[in-house]
Amino acid sequence: MGFDLPLSLAESLNLVSWWKPVLFLFPLLAWAWAVSTVCDKHAAKYYLERERWNYIHCIAAFIALLAVLFMPPIGSGGEFTWIVSFLVFSGLLASSVLAYVTVANKDERVPENGKVSFELSKLASLVESKNPKKVKGKGGTSVLVFRRVDKSAVDVPAADSPDFEVRLAAEGMITRAVDIRATKFDLAPSNKENYQVVYYVDGVKTAGETFPAASGVKLIDFWKAAAKLDVADRRKKQSGDLTVERGSAKNKLHIDTQGGQSGQKLSVVFDPEQQVRKTAEQIGWTAEQTELIRGWSSSRGGVVLLAAPPESGRTTTLYTVMKMHDAYTNNVQTVEIELEDALEGIRQNKWDPQAEGPDFGTLVRSILRRDPDVVGIAQVPDPQTAKEIVKADPEKCRVYASIPADSAVGAVQAWVKLLGDPDAAAKSVHGVLAQKLIRKLCINCKQAYQPTPDILKKLGLPPDKVKQLFRKGGEVLVKNKPEQCPVCQGTGYLQREGIFEVFNVDDGAREMIRAQNWAGLKAELRKSALPSIQQAALRKAIEGFTSVEEVLRVTADPAATPKPAAQPGAAPAAAAPKQPAKPKA
Ligand SMILES: [Zn+2]
């Protein structure tokens, strides 16, 4: 067998003609070009384990070479050996490039406009969706396709009509939002003359385009018409859904409009259900917190308060906790104003503020009377609702009540205030979860530094243990020139994560609630040795996930910020029950 190799080598390459080995150069050169000028540069730009990928490419090339060298004779006289070798060689080389493209395009660090695109994959996406990149309307040509819930496309107006300008401006808002990773944008009057777009990137507002009031109104009308809302009604709150397609990329849009004193306001949320869909493992609880919350889902009775400032993941947490209950052996329900995701097996009751019928508290009462095991209440808009909640069977029915507050103690305080009865409040509460969202540093551009003893002292961190912290960058060096970081678009941060405090309320804590001794309650809760929101945030900074500046921004002294009930968008504690603010992700 030892001398099989040179024989099969000669046969496999079938060296009768000079052009056959030369033919192998073509896939090899194409591969080398793709790896060095596309994959490697792309990996370097977006921080995608560049070295590991280069190993993978080299190994693929090595295997391709071995496959050719050890190719057994194929065909009766070995006449097909070279062609099979050629195909296997090319295929193996191509697979390493395709593997990179597939993995890189799914990576969260790569923005939509940074995806690798070969003619081949462009071709594939063209075949898969019959929508060409440009959409021809009655004359106008646009880049995006807006599709209604019934799948019909929104017509593109003629290029010379004034509506076409509006359409392009609307498309521009979507394109900009996707480019800067916004998850939401608003369009509202900024003063008497103008409307302004505000984009929300990782929960932080970024000012966008300004339009003269007349154009702003036309733009809002465009979105309303596209989502089949009543364009003529400029006062009532209206909601609708749309899908936007950009090439093969798709986003769901949820649209809200409402009239106000100074004009209409439009809000567009991207992929709302993606934003609230998290498992217990993904949401960011520590192991001890997860264990404690699992205890909630296996016990019965009592009220668990779920607290967060507005737009800080309250719906996500409510949904995650609800999904931890077995909805097949238990009667699990929710009461919500806006259904942000469909929860399997859970009956979601929607309360419509516009509709005639029972008010929120009455709906809650009628649901609690039907003997459910678990009820999640997306908000507690008024004292009446709170009073209905504490009437639930304390032994059997578990109620999760979501309220705007920025700490566990703050949540209990709000609960006592809603009920107007510290004794009833103390008796009812089984547990409290409070959360905030903190921005994660962009791993592509974050900068390490050695903290001074002063900073560490201010933060209450041991100086000997914390050798390094990180701050936001926003820029990267490309050929020794600073350029805006392509991963975070210069913000220095990339996505948000929850930071939590989670406590069970025991008899000691109940005593403090009865006495309305909030400092005492805080001390009681600390006894559990579980982290507070501040500690959870600092831990993220020590681990290098976030910056000290972000920790301070998020955990700023609540005394310095308006009280939760006074914040815009927060559910008013005792105000107009027909118009409670919408609970948000
Ligand atoms: Zn960055």
The string of DSSP codes covering 343-361 is -TT-EEEE--TTSSS--HH
Query: Is 309 part of any domain?
Result: yes
Compute the average pLDDT of residues 103-112. 78
Asked whether residue 84 falls in the same domain as residue 152, the answer is: no
Rounded to the nearest angstrom, the distance between the alpha carbon of 490 and the centre of ligand 1 is 6
Q: Which residue among 71, 90, 122 closes a domain? A: 122
Query: Is 447 part of any domain?
Result: no
Asked whether residue 254 falls in the same domain as residue 290, the answer is: no
Where helices occur in 70-212 by DSSP H, the ranges are 81-106, 119-128, 162-179
Query: Is 201 part of any domain?
Result: yes
- Cβ partners under 8 Å of residue 228, min gap 6: 148, 149, 240
307 close to 433: Cβ distance less than 8 angstroms: yes
Rounded to the nearest angstrom, the distance between the alpha carbon of 557 and the centre of ligand 1 is 28
Compute the average pLDDT of residues 18-23. 80
Q: Which two tokens stand for residue 268?
A: 């567009």
Q: What is the pLDDT of residues 529-546, one digit of tens each?
A: 899 999 999 999 999 999
Rounded to the nearest angstrom, the distance between the alpha carbon of 168 and the centre of ligand 1 is 29
Rounded to the nearest angstrom, the distance between the alpha carbon of 472 and the centre of ligand 1 is 8
Helix 50-69 and helix 25-33, axial crossing angle in degrees, nearest 10: 170
Q: Which residue segment(s) compose the domain that 216 sits in?
A: 135-270
- Spatial distance between the Cα atoms of 278 and 315, rounded to a whole number of angstroms: 10
Compute the average pLDDT of residues 191-195. 93
Compute the average pLDDT of residues 71-83. 82
pTM value is 0.74
Asked whether residue 193 falls in the same domain as residue 178, the answer is: yes
Domain count, the chain: 3
Domain CATH for 410: 3.40.50.300
Distances from the Cα of 318 to the Cαs of 39, 297, 305, 349, 419, in angstroms? Answer: 41, 12, 10, 14, 21
Query: Is 318 part of any domain?
Result: yes
Rounded to the nearest angstrom, the distance between the alpha carbon of 553 and the centre of ligand 1 is 19
Rounded to the nearest angstrom, the distance between the alpha carbon of 41 and the centre of ligand 1 is 16
Asked whether residue 216 falls in the same domain as residue 322, the answer is: no
Query: Is 175 part of any domain?
Result: yes
Q: Is residue 51 pLDDT above 70, yes or no?
A: yes
Rounded to the nearest angstrom, the distance between the alpha carbon of 38 and the centre of ligand 1 is 20
Asked whether residue 266 falls in the same domain as residue 284, the answer is: no
Compute the average pLDDT of residues 416-432. 96
- Spatial distance between the Cα atoms of 555 and 484, rounded to a whole number of angstroms: 28
Rounded to the nearest angstrom, the distance between the alpha carbon of 489 and the centre of ligand 1 is 6
Q: Which residue among 92, 122, 152 closes a domain? A: 122
Q: Is residue 487 pLDDT above 90, yes or no?
A: no
The predicted pLDDT at position 574 comes to 38
Rounded to the nearest angstrom, the distance between the alpha carbon of 44 and the centre of ligand 1 is 13
Rounded to the nearest angstrom, the distance between the alpha carbon of 239 and the centre of ligand 1 is 35
Query: Is 435 part of any domain?
Result: yes
The predicted pLDDT at position 311 comes to 85
Rounded to the nearest angstrom, the distance between the alpha carbon of 31 and the centre of ligand 1 is 30
The predicted pLDDT at position 20 comes to 78
- pLDDT-derived band at 298 (thresholds 50, 70, 90) equals very high
Compute the average pLDDT of residues 343-352. 94
Asked whether residue 257 falls in the same domain as residue 173, the answer is: yes
The predicted pLDDT at position 403 comes to 94
Q: When comparing pLDDT for 78 and 286, which is higher?
A: 286
- Cβ partners under 8 Å of residue 283, min gap 6: 316, 317, 320, 498
- pLDDT-derived band at 387 (thresholds 50, 70, 90) equals very high
Rounded to the nearest angstrom, the distance between the alpha carbon of 441 and the centre of ligand 1 is 8
- Spatial distance between the Cα atoms of 468 and 99, rounded to a whole number of angstroms: 36
Q: Is residue 132 pLDDT above 70, yes or no?
A: no
Rounded to the nearest angstrom, the distance between the alpha carbon of 113 and the centre of ligand 1 is 15
- pLDDT-derived band at 125 (thresholds 50, 70, 90) equals very low
Rounded to the nearest angstrom, the distance between the alpha carbon of 481 and the centre of ligand 1 is 15
Q: When comparing pLDDT for 301 and 356, which is higher?
A: 301
Asked whether residue 147 falls in the same domain as residue 228, the answer is: yes
- Cβ partners under 8 Å of residue 570, min gap 6: 309, 310, 404, 564, 581
Q: Is residue 133 pLDDT above 50, yes or no?
A: no
499 close to 533: Cβ distance less than 8 angstroms: yes
- Spatial distance between the Cα atoms of 332 and 398, rounded to a whole number of angstroms: 10
Domain CATH for 233: 3.30.450.90
- Spatial distance between the Cα atoms of 193 and 429, rounded to a whole number of angstroms: 50
Rounded to the nearest angstrom, the distance between the alpha carbon of 473 and the centre of ligand 1 is 6
154 close to 171: Cβ distance less than 8 angstroms: no
Rounded to the nearest angstrom, the distance between the alpha carbon of 480 and the centre of ligand 1 is 16
Q: Which of 324, 372, 318, 363 is nearest to 341 (CA)?
A: 318
Asked whether residue 405 falls in the same domain as residue 358, the answer is: yes
Mean pLDDT of the chain: 86
- pLDDT-derived band at 486 (thresholds 50, 70, 90) equals confident
Give CA 43 to chain center in angstroms.
Answer: 23
The predicted pLDDT at position 480 comes to 87
Rounded to the nearest angstrom, the distance between the alpha carbon of 109 and the centre of ligand 1 is 9
Asked whether residue 317 falls in the same domain as residue 184, the answer is: no
Pairing of strands 332-336, 429-441: unpaired
Rounded to the nearest angstrom, the distance between the alpha carbon of 278 and the centre of ligand 1 is 24
Q: Is residue 562 pLDDT above 60, yes or no?
A: no
Distances from the Cα of 415 to the Cαs of 70, 307, 404, 539, in angstroms? Answer: 75, 10, 10, 29
- pLDDT-derived band at 352 (thresholds 50, 70, 90) equals confident
- Which residue do the tokens 């339009």 mark? 211
Rounded to the nearest angstrom, the distance between the alpha carbon of 184 and the centre of ligand 1 is 20
Q: Is residue 576 pLDDT above 60, yes or no?
A: no
Query: Is 116 part of any domain?
Result: yes
Give CA 404 to chain center in angstroms.
Answer: 20
- Spatial distance between the Cα atoms of 364 and 384, rounded to a whole number of angstroms: 10
Pairing of strands 249-259, 264-270: antiparallel
Q: Which residue among 67, 93, 122 closes a domain? A: 122
- Spatial distance between the Cα atoms of 402 and 385, rounded to a whole number of angstroms: 12
Task: Kindly state the DSSP code that residue 562 receives in the 8-state scheme.
Answer: -
Asked whether residue 253 falls in the same domain as residue 280, the answer is: no
Rounded to the nearest angstrom, the distance between the alpha carbon of 475 and the centre of ligand 1 is 7
Rounded to the nearest angstrom, the distance between the alpha carbon of 47 and the centre of ligand 1 is 10
Asked whether residue 171 falls in the same domain as residue 204, the answer is: yes
Asked whether residue 109 falls in the same domain as residue 35, the answer is: yes
Rounded to the nearest angstrom, the distance between the alpha carbon of 447 and the centre of ligand 1 is 10
Compute the average pLDDT of residues 418-445. 95
Rounded to the nearest angstrom, the distance between the alpha carbon of 58 and the centre of ligand 1 is 29
Rounded to the nearest angstrom, the distance between the alpha carbon of 486 and the centre of ligand 1 is 6
- Spatial distance between the Cα atoms of 432 and 305, rounded to a whole number of angstroms: 5
Residue 220, φ and ψ in degrees, nearest 5: -65, -40
- Spatial distance between the Cα atoms of 199 and 416, rounded to a whole number of angstroms: 36
Rounded to the nearest angstrom, the distance between the alpha carbon of 484 and the centre of ligand 1 is 8
- Cβ partners under 8 Å of residue 580, min gap 6: 337, 353, 360, 379, 381, 382, 571, 572
Sign of CA dihedral 20, 21, 24, 25: negative
Rounded to the nearest angstrom, the distance between the alpha carbon of 478 and the centre of ligand 1 is 13
Rounded to the nearest angstrom, the distance between the alpha carbon of 534 and the centre of ligand 1 is 25
Query: Is 585 part of any domain?
Result: no
Sign of CA dihedral 29, 33, 39, 40: positive
